[in-house]
Amino acid sequence: MNTYQSTRVTFVPKPTKYRTQLKVEPVRSQPHCEDTGTSPSLSSHIHLWTTSMNSFQQPLTLKSMKRLIENKTHRSKEFLLNSSTYFDMVQQTMKNTSKDIRRKNKDKKKKYSKLCHITIIIIVILLILSVIAVGIYLSIRFTTNKNSTKTLNPVLRWNSTSITVAGLNNAPGVNASQLYTPTDVALDPFNTLYIPDFINNRVQKWLIGASSGTTVTGQVNATLSNTTGYLNRPAGIYIDSNDNIFVSDSNNHEIQLWANGALVGTLIAGTGSAGTGNNEFYNPYSIVQDSSTKTLYIGNYNNHRMMSYTSGALLGSVVARGDGLGTNNTQLNNPVGLYFDSFTNSLLIANFMANNIV
C-alpha cells in the first residue's frame, strides 16, 4: 500500500426535478496530513488534485437544495405579499382618485345646476319687470292721449316767387283765359277754384293746372242784368260741402244761390234794391257760412255792417258794427273781407276804409 493518503470526494447526481439558475460553488476540501507525517510529494499531489477539482461545479446535496428551495419559496412569498400589498395600494389609490373625480364632478354638477337656477330666476324677474314697465308706459301714454287735447298751430310760409294759376298777368279781358278785376276766390273739396269775375259779371270755375276757366254763373260775354241768371258786379263767393254756390251780387244788392247743377240762381237774401232795412243790402261784398248751423254772414259794404241770415230766413240780424260809418270800436267803414272761425265761433273782418282787421 502506498504511503500517500488521499481525500475521498463523493459525487452525487444532480436531481432532475429541481431546476435552478443559481450556481453553487463546491466546497473546497483542504488537504491535511496526519501526525504520522506525510511526505511533501503526497501533499503536493493532493493539493494539485483538489485544485484541479475547483474547475467543476460540485453537485448540491438534498439538504442544501431543500434549503435553497425554501429560501426561494420564502422570497417568492415575500415578493407576492409585497406585490399584493403594492397592488392593493395602487387599487386603493385608484379608488380614492375615482371617488375624488366623482365627487368633484358631482360638486361641479351641483354648482352648475345652482347657477342655472339662479340664471333662470334672474331672467324671469327681468321679464316680469319688463312687462310691468311696458304696461305702465302704455297706461300712461293712453291716459295722456285720452285726457290731452292737441293744439294745432298752422304756419303759412309764402313762396318767394308767385305762380299764376288763373288769368293772364296784366291782361284783363273777357276771354275764357282772362279775368277782369277778380274780387274773391273759393276752393271746393276737390281743389277746384271759383272766382267772381267782377267787371265781367260772371263766376269762373278753374281747375288746378288749367289754362282757361269755365263760366258757371252769369254770362260768358260779360252782360250785366238784374234778371234771373244774370249778375251785376259779383263781389263775394262761398262753396259749401255740397258744391252749392252762394254769390253776393253787389250791384243788384242781393245774395243768390246756385244749387249744384242748377242753370239759374235763386234769390235767398235782399230785395234787389239798395236799402238799410234788415231785409236789404247796399252793395254786399263778402259772404261766409257756419257749416254747423248753416247760418250765412254777409258783409254789407255801404251800410257799414255785418248781417247774419239763418237758413230760410227772409230777415237778417245785425251782428257787427250797427252804429253807422266810423272808426270807433263799435263801427265799421266799408267792410270787404270776411272769415268765420269755427273753432272760436267768431268773425274776422277786413275793415277796408278803416285800414284794420277786426
Q: Which of 55-69, 73-87, 322-336 has the lowest mean pLDDT?
A: 55-69
Using an 8 Å Cβ cutoff, are 254 and 281 in contact?
A: yes
Specify the higher pLDDT residue, 333 or 159: 333
Tell me the three cell numbers of residue 158. Answer: 309764402
Residue 53, classed as helix, strand or coil, is helix
Phi, psi (degrees; rounded to nearest 5) at 207: -75, 150
Does the pLDDT value for residue 12 go beyond 70? no
pTM comes to 0.54
Using an 8 Å Cβ cutoff, are 352 and 325 in contact?
A: no
Specify the higher pLDDT residue, 322 or 276: 276
Whose cell is 243790402? That residue is: 281
Q: What is the pLDDT of residue 52?
A: 43
Instruction: Tell me the sheet residues that pair with 338.
Output: 349
Residue 197, classed as helix, strand or coil, is strand
Helix (H) or strand (E) holding 128: helix 62-147
Q: What is the pLDDT of residue 1?
A: 44
Using an 8 Å Cβ cutoff, are 208 and 188 in contact?
A: no
Q: What is the pLDDT of residue 68?
A: 75
Q: Write the pLDDT tens digit of every residue in 228-246.
A: 678 899 999 999 988 899 9
- Residue 116's Cβ-count burial label (10 Å; 0-12, 13-18, 19+) is exposed
Using an 8 Å Cβ cutoff, are 257 and 266 in contact?
A: yes
CATH superfamily of 186-357: TolB, C-terminal domain (2.120.10.30)
Q: What is the pLDDT of residue 196?
A: 92
Q: Write the pLDDT tens digit of every residue in 259-292.
A: 988 888 889 998 989 998 989 999 999 999 998 8
Does the pLDDT value for residue 190 go beyond 50? yes
At 233, the amino acid letter reads R
CA distance 296 to 316: 9
Closest CA to 198 of 238, 244, 274, 250: 250
Using an 8 Å Cβ cutoff, are 291 and 240 in contact?
A: yes
Mean pLDDT along residues 148-176: 78
Q: What is the pLDDT of residue 189?
A: 85
Mean pLDDT along residues 170-180: 88
CA distance 152 to 25: 130
Q: Write the pLDDT tens digit of every residue in 324-357.
A: 677 777 778 888 888 888 888 888 888 888 888 8
Phi, psi (degrees; rounded to nearest 5) at 135: -60, -45
Q: Which of 33-42, 117-126, 138-147 has the lowest mean pLDDT?
A: 33-42
Using an 8 Å Cβ cutoff, are 237 and 196 in contact?
A: yes
Averaged confidence pLDDT in the chain: 77
Whose cell is 251785376? That residue is: 232
Does the pLDDT value for residue 64 go beyond 90? no
User: How far, CA to CA in Å, does 72 sit from each of 57, 69, 75, 76, 79?
Assistant: 21, 5, 5, 6, 10
CA distance 53 to 47: 10
Residue 284, classed as helix, strand or coil, is strand
| CA distance between the termini of the chain | 185
CA distance 145 to 242: 34
At 111, the amino acid letter reads K
CA distance 343 to 323: 28
Q: Write the pLDDT tens digit of every residue in 122-143.
A: 999 999 998 998 888 888 877 7
